[in-house]
Structure formats: C-alpha cells, structure tokens
C-alpha cells in the first residue's frame, strides 16, 4: 500500500511534466526519494529521504500544475456568495 500511494503520485507527475521522467527510490529505512531524468540521461536524485506523506506532498508540488477548469456557473456562484457575505 505504501509504495502504491507513492507510485500513483509519480504517475500523475509524469503525466503533467513531459520534459522529464520521474521515478521513486526507497532506502533501507523505508524512506522515499525522488529521481528525475531528462530523455536519454541518467536519473539524478532531486529530493531528500522523506516519509510517505511528505514524499507525496513534494511530488504533488513538483512540476507544472494542472489548471482547474471553472465553468461560467461556478464563477457566477462565487460572485453570488461574495455578494451575500458583504450584505450580512
């Protein structure tokens, strides 16, 4: 289970960043570290050894982020909520 959560985070990162290939490493103490390789290059370690939850947070912050799609209805709803909080 531990490595599944970490490997899923790596898979999401690889989908977001086409310029590099990311992978994870696990040391003897069970801590995770992030490896990054440019196409045709050798992987290099780019993070410290981290526990699972910190590693997943690091991977989620790394690389380009997906833009969240917001519909016109969501924008209108946000405006409506902002207007209500000012009047109350």
What pLDDT score does 31 carry? 92
What pLDDT score does 9 carry? 92
Instruction: Identify the CA nearest to 62 among candidates 10, 5, 24.
Output: 10
What pLDDT score does 87 carry? 55
- Give CA separation, 52 vs 8, 30, 46, in Å: 12, 9, 16
What pLDDT score does 66 carry? 78
- Do 31 and 54 meet the contact criterion of CB atoms below 8 Å apart? no
- Give CA separation, 26 vs 19, 55, 63, in Å: 23, 11, 21
Residue-by-residue pLDDT tens, the chain, 88 positions: 567 899 999 999 999 888 889 999 999 999 999 999 988 888 899 889 999 999 999 999 887 777 788 899 988 898 888 877 665 5
Q: Give the Cα separation of 44 and 31 in Å (integer).
A: 17
Q: Is the C-alpha dihedral spanning 35, 37, 41, 45 positive or negative?
A: negative
């Amino acid at each position: 289970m531990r490595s599944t959560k970490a490997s899923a985070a790596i898979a999401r990162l690889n989908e977001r960043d086409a310029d590099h290939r990311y992978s994870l490493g696990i040391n003897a103490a069970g801590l995770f570290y992030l490896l990054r390789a440019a196409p045709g290059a050798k992987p290099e370690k780019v993070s410290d050894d981290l526990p699972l939850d910190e590693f997943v947070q690091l991977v989620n912050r790394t690389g380009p982020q997906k833009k969240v799609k917001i519909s016109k209805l969501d924008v209108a709803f946000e405006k409506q909520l902002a207007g209500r909080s000012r009047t109350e």
